[in-house]
Amino acid sequence: MASSFFLFVDVDYPLSCDTIATLYLIKRACCKSVFMKSFISQASSIQKTAMRPVVFHCIALWLVLLMNAAFANAAEFPNAISLQGFTGLLNTPNAEVTEEGTVNALYSNQIEPQWRDLAPHEDNYLFSVGFFSFAEFGGRLTNVPAVSIRDLSANVKIKIPFIPRGFYLPDIALGMQDVGGGSKHFQTKYIVASEELWRFRFSLGAGTGPDRMKGVFGGAEFKAFDWFYLIGENDGKDTNVGARLVAPELFGYPLGLQISAKTSLDYRPGNTQFGLGFQFPLGNEHLDRSPLPEKANEVKQTSSETKITAGSLPNESEKMAQAPSAAPAVVTGKGSAPGADLQRVREKLTTEGFENVRVGTNGGSLLVVEYENNRYNHNELDGLGIVIGIVVDTLPGEYETFRVIVKKQDIAVLELSAPFSDFRAFLHDAGKYRELNEHLRITENVGKDEGVDYLVGPSNSSWLDSSLVVYPGLKTFVATEVGTFDYLLSAKLDYFFNAWKGAVVNARWDIPVAWSENFDNGKAFRSDRAGSQLDRLMLFQAIKVVPGLMVNLGGGMIVPDYHGTLNEVMWTPSDGAHRFTIKQAYATSSDVQDLPQKRETYLGSYRYYFSPLNLSFKVTVGRFFDNDEGFRLDMKRFFGDTALSVYYANSQTTFRDRVQIGGVMIALPLTPRRDMKPGILQLKGYDDWSYAQETKIVAPGESNTVSTSTGVDPVLPYNLERVFYNRDRLNEPYIREHLLRLREVYRAYGQ
């Protein structure tokens, strides 16, 4: 098969004797067929001499693969990125979108029709991401040196939801290629329908052009093997044929590989272009919305095994409820004194690296455990799961209620309580998920002690502890007049010192490490490369005023040369679905060369969290950090611990220019799931490293000049949302949706 495949993409590729003989016979048989003769005749009218070997070999290959198709899996077609960036065939879309929470990236050397007579070479870097199950966003960077084209464009495609699968009920999608931007090299709007029939997927659509996809287009994908597909299409300009090789996993990791090859039958047939890409998921948990119980006698599992699919929860749950639970690993005897048990719990928690630990009881019915987690930094739920696991596995089940209080910077931020037996049952039997969820009480209104006596002794205080967070800084310029991709990579050393309750001293150094040529002296971006410097020195004081209302006051050097204050007030009423934030910053520069000399920021924002999709919407209005005034819209979705955002800013600069910005941002933890234990100096990565790529949105014909100072919300690493609210995930709806994570992390790290 490999030789056949390469035969297709390059007719001069050497073949084995058997393959040649087989194909020759098939070719002869094909030529006797009326249909094939007709097809070949039609093709020959386009490019008679050059076409013939290609067509013969294509047909032969199709027949060979048809014979092999019987051995292929009848599973659905995998969705792959096309050479244009949207999910589709070769140059045309189908009615599918990139899988939810998955990123596709592809390099292609296909030369677009408008440049193929002028340019010998073209580079295309394409990506698409499945933001929802019905929507994908994508981008494309095109570089055609011969005609000085460097273009960045965006794609969007929406699959019409709620269309049931079945014969004569095709999927339908709407899309736009090359959305926005001053240059419109690929702009097209289209509608397309797809239907699967046996091992074929047919697509038919109509577009607005002006080049490809003008009028009707369509094509078919044929699944020869689970990993090999043949594709034919007419994109409105050319008829293309090609093949795609898909490997869903590499070495056991969910990293898919995709290789595409195509040739036009109308323009230099036989001249092949390639696409090489990969696919990876952003996170594992976006499908955990309706968790199923796990098998009672399961063995220790990894995080990748916790993805639970929706479907048969009631029946499975009932079965699990009747099944014997795994033996609880109670390590203490029932006859031991309660104080000794509690001491053992405290010792285990502090040994595990938890800080500000307090363990107490009101005499028997209520158990209270307070702790601060600075070790499991991907998600606060990880720390919570470990604590619950340790407590439940250490203590006998003599307590009616188990209350666990989560602290950050020694401030109690959240309280969870449920019957002790529910925690225990859930920990050892995922089938008890529903019972725990039903009885679990989650509140920011952390209760008073109510007569609880806490153990006296070492709590592993976080006072005077410090941490050094090391992470990369990256600044890029993409598709500019001076380069396709320019970068400046630096090392960020972010030091945090716990001064007292809620107070942190923060100092950050920025050390440039590597950069592209245009950051060199005398080059375009030299002014964007500062030397190694201390770029932040601030003191923060966080205060929990009342439950749901937090304040963070900051003062010092906010950015290089600018000294002042940066304060935020956050109000989270009810269960955390709604949030209101006010932010104020005032900073002046000590360098007369700096513009502006004074920065005054006043921002108000509202955020709504939609828990079933881990999705949040945020609108921010006011005066931003560069003194521009306007608004900003953010839509963020978590896929596991990775957050993907798209945003739009519209603000008026101090020069009275109205600027619109659109961008996409990814934020993820760049540190191990379990970090070094906190102490005098904890070394770790950044749990909320983010990277945003943005561009000006301009009218056709206008220039999208680079801009890095529009709609900037002064968010520093020590902010309320990240430090105290688990990157905006410490709310009741989120916790309830992700209860299984508590169990999974304990099984992975706690036992």
Partner 1 sequence: MGKRLGILLNVVGIGLVMMIMALYGCGNNSVSTVGPAEPFYISGTPNTTAIVGQLYTFTPSISGVDTSNLTFSITTVSPSTLPAWLNFNPQNGTLSGTPASSDVGLISGIVISVSNGTVNESLPAFNLTVTVTGSTGSSGGTGL
Q: Which is nearer to partner 1, 199 or 599 (CB)?
A: 599
Q: Does 733 bind partner 1 (CB under 8 A)?
A: no
Q: Does 642 bind partner 1 (CB under 8 A)?
A: no
Distance separating alpha carbons of residues 63 and 47, to the nearest angstrom: 23
Q: Which is nearer to partner 1, 295 or 523 (CB)?
A: 523
What residues numbered 186-245 form the site for partner 1, per CB under 8 A? Answer: none
Question: Minimum distance from CB of 108 to partner 1 (Å)?
Answer: 19
> How far apart, in Å, are the Cα atoms of 750 and each of 300, 377, 386, 684?
11, 15, 6, 20
Q: What's the token pair of residue 547? A: 């439950």
**173, 387, 716, 720: which one contacts partner 1 (CB under 8 A)?**
716
What residues numbered 52-81 form the site for partner 1, per CB under 8 A? Answer: none
Site string for partner 1, 164-183 (x = CB under 8 A): ------------------x-
Q: Does 704 bind partner 1 (CB under 8 A)?
A: yes
Q: Does 537 bind partner 1 (CB under 8 A)?
A: no
Strand partners, 415: 405, 443
**622, 630, 714, 750: which one contacts partner 1 (CB under 8 A)?**
714
Query: What residues contact 647, with CB distance under 8 A and at least 6 apart?
Result: 632, 633, 634, 635, 661, 662, 663, 664, 665, 692, 694, 711
Q: Which is nearer to partner 1, 446 or 559 (CB)?
A: 559
Q: Does 185 bind partner 1 (CB under 8 A)?
A: no
User: Residue 236, exposed/middle/buried by CB under 10 A (0-12, 13-18, 19+)?
Assistant: buried
**68, 143, 480, 541: which one contacts partner 1 (CB under 8 A)?**
480
**228, 402, 496, 647: which one contacts partner 1 (CB under 8 A)?**
647
Q: Which parts of 434-502 are beta strand (E)?
A: 441-443, 453-454, 466-478, 485-500
Query: What residues contact 511, with CB distance under 8 A and at least 6 apart?
Result: 490, 491, 492, 493, 532
Distance separating alpha carbons of residues 142 and 109, to the nearest angstrom: 10
Closest listed residue to residue 692, CA positions, set 671, 661, 718: 661
What 3-state DSSP class applies to 166? coil
Site string for partner 1, 540-579 (x = CB under 8 A): ------------------xx--------------------
**CA-based max dimension of the chain:** 95
Q: Which is nearer to partner 1, 3 or 484 (CB)?
A: 484
Q: Which is nearer to partner 1, 55 or 479 (CB)?
A: 479
Question: Minimum distance from CB of 717 to partner 1 (Å)?
Answer: 9
Q: Which is nearer to partner 1, 1 or 698 (CB)?
A: 698
The DSSP 8-state label assigned to residue 389 in this structure reads H
Question: Minimum distance from CB of 80 to partner 1 (Å)?
Answer: 25
Q: 709-734 burial by CB neighbour count: b if 16+ within 10 A, else e?
A: bbbbbbebbbbbbbbbbbbbbbbbbb
Question: Minimum distance from CB of 526 to partner 1 (Å)?
Answer: 8
The CA-based angle 638-641-642, given to 5 degrees, is: 60
Question: Minimum distance from CB of 372 to partner 1 (Å)?
Answer: 25
Q: Which is nearer to partner 1, 302 or 690 (CB)?
A: 690
Question: Minimum distance from CB of 84 to partner 1 (Å)?
Answer: 19
The CA-based angle 246-250-252, given to 5 degrees, is: 130
Q: Which is nearer to partner 1, 387 or 716 (CB)?
A: 716
The DSSP 8-state label assigned to residue 628 in this structure reads -
**310, 511, 545, 595: which one contacts partner 1 (CB under 8 A)?**
595
Please, what is the end-to-end C-alpha distance for the chain in angstroms? Answer: 48
User: Residue 553, exposed/middle/buried by CB under 10 A (0-12, 13-18, 19+)?
Assistant: middle
**41, 42, 365, 705: which one contacts partner 1 (CB under 8 A)?**
705
**238, 415, 628, 694: which one contacts partner 1 (CB under 8 A)?**
694
Count how many Cα atoms sit within 13 Å of the Cα of residue 606 in the half-sphere of its side chain: 3
**67, 163, 250, 482: which one contacts partner 1 (CB under 8 A)?**
482
The region of 253-261, 403-411, 425-433, 689-697 touching partner 1 under the rule CB under 8 A is 689-697
**219 touches 233 (CB < 8 A):** yes
Q: Which is nearer to partner 1, 402 or 471 (CB)?
A: 471
**312, 574, 708, 751: which one contacts partner 1 (CB under 8 A)?**
708
The region of 316-324, 337-345, 474-482, 572-580 touching partner 1 under the rule CB under 8 A is 474-482
**1, 323, 665, 676: which one contacts partner 1 (CB under 8 A)?**
665
The region of 220-228, 441-449, 708-716, 734-742 touching partner 1 under the rule CB under 8 A is 708-716
Is beta strand 366-372 parallel, antiparallel or unpaired with respect to 401-408?
A: parallel
Distance separating alpha carbons of residues 464 and 504, to the nearest angstrom: 10
Q: Which is nearer to partner 1, 321 or 491 (CB)?
A: 491
Question: Minimum distance from CB of 127 to partner 1 (Å)?
Answer: 13
Q: Does 524 bind partner 1 (CB under 8 A)?
A: yes
> How far apart, in Å, are the Cα atoms of 144 and each of 105, 147, 271, 576?
19, 6, 18, 49
Question: Minimum distance from CB of 727 to partner 1 (Å)?
Answer: 12
**9, 152, 292, 542: which one contacts partner 1 (CB under 8 A)?**
152
Cα dihedral sign for 182, 184, 189, 195? negative
**41, 692, 700, 751: which one contacts partner 1 (CB under 8 A)?**
692
**439 touches 420 (CB < 8 A):** no
Q: Does 150 bind partner 1 (CB under 8 A)?
A: yes
DSSP string, 531-582: -SEEEEEEEEEEEEEETTEEEEEEEEEEETTEEEEEEEEEE--TTTTEEEEE
Question: Minimum distance from CB of 694 to partner 1 (Å)?
Answer: 6
Q: Which is nearer to partner 1, 43 or 538 (CB)?
A: 538
The region of 64-72, 157-165, 264-272, 657-665 touching partner 1 under the rule CB under 8 A is 657-665
Query: What residues contact 191, with CB distance under 8 A and at least 6 apart?
Result: 172, 173, 174, 175, 205, 206, 207
Distance separating alpha carbons of residues 247 and 253, to the nearest angstrom: 11
**522, 531, 612, 701: which one contacts partner 1 (CB under 8 A)?**
522
Question: Minimum distance from CB of 52 to partner 1 (Å)?
Answer: 45
Q: Which is nearer to partner 1, 315 or 705 (CB)?
A: 705
Question: Minimum distance from CB of 726 to partner 1 (Å)?
Answer: 17
Q: Does 663 bind partner 1 (CB under 8 A)?
A: yes
**638 touches 612 (CB < 8 A):** no
What 3-state DSSP class applies to 741? helix
The region of 69-77, 320-328, 542-550, 697-705 touching partner 1 under the rule CB under 8 A is 697-705
What residues numbered 614-633 form the site for partner 1, per CB under 8 A? Answer: 625
Distance separating alpha carbons of residues 223 and 243, to the nearest angstrom: 10
What residues numbered 249-308 form the site for partner 1, per CB under 8 A? Answer: none
**667 touches 690 (CB < 8 A):** yes
Distance separating alpha carbons of residues 360 and 438, to the nearest angstrom: 25
Contact positions vs partner 1 (CB under 8 A): 150, 152, 182, 471-482, 518, 522-527, 558-559, 593, 595, 625, 645, 647, 655, 657, 663, 665, 667, 689-695, 703-708, 711-716
